[in-house]
Structure 1
Amino acid sequence: MDVPESVAFLAGSPERLRLLTHLREQPGSPRDVAEATDVSHRSVQRNLSEFAEREWVEKRNGVYELTTSGDLVARTHANYVETLGVISEFDSFFRHLPDPTHAPDLAWVADATVVTASPDQPQAPVSHYVNRLRTRGTETIRMLAPVLSRLYHDAHAELVLSGVETELIMSPGRIETARSSNPLEFRLVSRVIDIYEHDGVVEFGLTIGDEWAFARAYDDAGQLQAVLECDHPEFLEWAETLYRRYRDRSSAIG
């Protein structure tokens, strides 16, 4: 198989994936395939001929069916297109991540919720985060935070006052800014929240509850651009691992 040529061929028309997907489910004659897929008879005939040349289909008594290679090609190409669809759907989150190591596996987020900032609703992800935080049950909260925002400060304060144990990791610069801008408030907060200073920059937001997690993506100005809410077990495991990576390079403030 000439892989680059096959990739270009499959990408050349969305009808090819539709035809291959149909043939996986139901072999048929060119007429049957055309009627079932709403693709012109001429296009079906041409593509079936192309599939046959690549040995992706076999013709028996006028009926075309996929070979094993054809079935593998059909499944692989369908997965590829589906994966690109997930990337497109969650692009507002992925493109604001600091690097690929902060990106969860696409299979985990396919059914996740993402809320994005827009010119009309710049605070949409913050509002979603605050509202969901107040409705999620948990006994512990662990957070990575690039910035401290008054917009969701109150929601976390409510959780702390209700007895939720909270741990916060921030960069030295952000901690110093918070400490110097309001020393009294910072002193009070540090008495009820375990604050850790990370040995480096924090450019990514993460909030982990007992059975859920939010990932947050920020722009270069520190504005929250997207919040991803996901309950997939492997996403939670990934979030735990990422958090521990930051925690192991952090120390409790004095």
Structure 2
Amino acid sequence: MTADDGHDGAQYLAGSPVRVSILRTLRREPRRPADLTDAVDATRTTVQRILGGFRERDWVVKRDAAYRVTPTGKRVHEAYETLLDEVALADRYGRFAADLERVDAGLPPEALDAGELTVATDRNPLAAVDRLTELLREGRDAEIRAVSPIVIQQFNRAAAAALDAGAEVELVIDRDVAETSVSEFGPATDRALDDDDATVYVSPEPIEYGLFKRDDVACVTAYDRRNNPRCVFESTEPIVTEWVDDRFESLVADARRLSAVVEEA
């Protein structure tokens, strides 16, 4: 038996929300057809027809005038509910996952179950920027690790506020961001070079996604093709925090200090 053998059954169940509702209702407790019509808001004829389809597939049996789900029916229902959950997850995290996959970030798929997402929208295009800025500003007396493919004034000001409040900041940027920082954000660059609590590394390779770690909070930021931050995925779960730490250490291992890059330039 192959996966294709179950296609007809899957298509049958997915073909009507009422079918799913009836199977879900019978999972809770056996019911008579008349009880099902009220529970799922369907006509008795529709309910009888669906119950007949379920009986043909051995998903339900009739006993003592009530219909009961069989063990195979329970497995079918559980698998279908899992599929619905996965589709809902894809709808919620689709853009974030696609942007990270496009740049080969390597975030484990199971991590998507372990966090919350802030998404930039047409109505709030700065939602992701605002969330990252807030996390930075809240970093008083904290050890902050970050990776960023862009430099903007909001991030510079938030990082300065964190440093003023006693934070220690480690940041990885790429060469393009370093050049922009030197040419357009002189005061912020000077502080990064002079402040003992700030360490900036320059990656030899382009950076295409963002990372942030503060205490037990870790974030992964997905950027669109124009390098706008679109989604911030935030979590305190080890599967995310440990992955962020590993990626940060890997980038630092291949990077050079900003001071060395500036001196060379």
- DSSP-derived class of the 2:200 partner: strand
- DSSP-derived class of the 2:106 partner: helix
CA contact (8 A) 2:217 2:241 kept: yes
CA contact (8 A) 1:83 1:106 kept: no
Identity %: 27
Provide the residue aligned with 2:245 in structure 1: 240
121-130 or 213-222: which moved more?
Answer: 121-130
Structure-to-structure mapping, 1:135-146, within 5 angstroms: 135=138, 139-146=142-149
Provide the residue aligned with 2:254 in structure 1: 249
Provide the residue aligned with 2:112 in structure 1: 106
Mapped partners of 2:250, 2:67: distance in 1:
53
Partner AA of 1:120 in structure 2: R
CA contact (8 A) 2:142 2:168 kept: yes
Partner AA of 2:242 in structure 1: E
Change (3 A) 1:120 1:86: same
Provide the residue aligned with 1:122 in structure 2: 125
1:119, CA displacement in angstroms? 2.8
Deviations 1:176-215 (A, max 9, x none): 3323444564233133321122242211111111111222
TM-align CA RMSD: 2.4
Mapped partners of 1:10, 1:244: distance in 2:
48
CA contact (8 A) 1:28 1:63 kept: yes
Provide the residue aligned with 1:91 in structure 2: 94
CA contact (8 A) 1:92 1:116 kept: no
Q: Say how many residue pairs are matched.
A: 251
Q: 2:235 aligns with which of 230, 242, 245?
A: 230
Give the structure with higher Rg (CA): 2
CA contact (8 A) 1:16 1:47 kept: yes
Q: 2:154 aligns with which of 151, 155, 164?
A: 151
Partner AA of 1:218 in structure 2: Y
Report whether the alignment pairs 1:51 with 2:54: yes
Structure with the greater relative contact order (CA < 8 A, sep ≥ 6): 1 or 2?
Answer: 1
Deviations 1:37-92 (A, max 9, x none): 22332222222222222222222232221111211111111111012112212334
Partner AA of 1:240 in structure 2: D
Partner AA of 2:256 in structure 1: S
Partner AA of 1:107 in structure 2: D
Structure 1 residues without counterparts, runs of 5 or longer = none
Change (3 A) 1:195 1:70: same
Mapped partners of 2:114, 2:224: distance in 1:
23
Q: 2:134 aligns with which of 123, 131, 134?
A: 131
CA contact (8 A) 1:138 1:209 kept: no
Change (3 A) 1:58 1:140: same
- DSSP-derived class of the 1:241 partner: helix
- DSSP-derived class of the 1:142 partner: strand
Structure-to-structure mapping, 1:1-254, within 5 angstroms: 2-97=5-100, 98-99=103-104, 101-102=106-107, 105-109=111-115, 112=116, 114-135=117-138, 139-182=142-185, 185-192=188-195, 193-253=198-258, 254=260
1:100, CA displacement in angstroms? 6.7
Mapped partners of 1:33, 1:239: distance in 2:
49
1:31, CA displacement in angstroms? 1.8
16-25 or 190-199: which moved more?
Answer: 190-199
TM-score normalized with structure 2 length: 0.83
CA contact (8 A) 2:141 2:166 kept: no
1:218, CA displacement in angstroms? 1.2
Mapped partners of 1:27, 1:100: distance in 2:
48
